Amino acid sequence: GENVEQHPSTLSVQEGDSAVIKCTYSDSASNYFPWYKQELGKGPQLIIDIRSNVGEKKDQRIAVTLNKTAKHFSLHITETQPEDSAVYFCAASLNSGGSNYKLTFGKGTLLTVNP
Amino acid sequence: ETGVTQTPRHLVMGMTNKKSLKCEQHLGHNAMYWYKQSAKKPLELMFVYNFKEQTENNSVPSRFSPECPNSSHLFLHLHTLQPEDSALYLCASSQATGLGAFFGQGTRLTVV
């Protein structure tokens, strides 16, 4: 099965700085990589995703990059704001049989943006 | 509001109780999931339903019993739970399995 490693487990930045969270995956057949943001007391929220046929995707202050050869993908947040403080999870999707796919999640990164 | 609603938000139950968690989605999605989230662990996939059929049971103990009467509703029936089952239980849905899932707010379960 798939194994997803996520680093760092905690990240503290000053408001306005950039934050980068990195994930690696083990199965080269994984083809879809979403990122989630989870605020305290809430469920994870999908914030951006990327498919294996794309190397980079950007949505305002967040971007995701994918290196299929190295089997790693990263989340980049620019001009961080205090409301970006949350736990961020990466995930990788792999076919689990027939037409079914399975998401495997990383352990999460607690991002703190200090004002 | 993600379009996935879970009830109750909080639940405290004894080890001999029977209770059920409910999930409802109004997104027209075909796949629904139950996840368990414990402190300092990755999200653990428990069950997957695709077009109302269970396609994945991730070695979950039989004291957790899922039910999917239609593609909009998902239940998790609980009985004779253990204290280590205390966690946040998250329901999610997606258009197809493995795609970006939309999560509910979760049910915080405490087993005493």
Residue B99 pLDDT greater than 70, yes or no:
yes
Q: Is A99 on the interface with B (CB under 8 A)?
A: yes
Q: Higher pLDDT residue, B97 or A50?
A: A50
Predicted local distance difference test score (pLDDT) of residue B1: 64
Q: How far is CA B4 from CA A70, A71, A88, B7, B52, in A?
A: 35, 32, 20, 10, 16
Predicted local distance difference test score (pLDDT) of residue A35: 97
State the smallest CA–CA distance between residue A36 and chain B in angstroms. 9
With CB atoms and an 8 Å threshold, state whether B98 touches A32.
Answer: yes
Nearest-CB residue to B100 (from A43, A49, A94):
A49
**Cα(A22)–Cα(A70) distance, rounded to whole angstroms?**
12
Q: Give tens-digit pLDDT for B70-90.
A: 989 999 999 999 999 999 999
With CB atoms and an 8 Å threshold, state whether A105 touches B40.
Answer: no
With CB atoms and an 8 Å threshold, state whether A42 touches B100.
Answer: no
Q: How far is CA A5 from CA A24, A39, A92, in A?
A: 5, 21, 10
Chain A with chain B: Cβ pairs closer than 8 A: 69
3-state DSSP of B1-66: CCCEEEECCEEEECCCCEEEEEEEECCCCCEEEEEEECCCCCCEEEEEEECCEEEEECCCCCCEEE
Q: Give tens-digit pLDDT for B6-50.
A: 999 999 999 989 999 999 999 999 999 999 999 878 889 999 998
Per-residue pLDDT of chain A (115 residues; tens, 9 = 90+): 789 999 999 999 999 999 999 999 999 999 999 999 999 989 999 999 999 888 999 999 999 999 999 999 999 999 999 999 999 999 999 877 777 778 899 999 999 999 9
State the smallest CA–CA distance between residue B18 and chain A in angstroms. 24
Predicted local distance difference test score (pLDDT) of residue B92: 95
Residue B98 pLDDT greater than 90, yes or no:
no
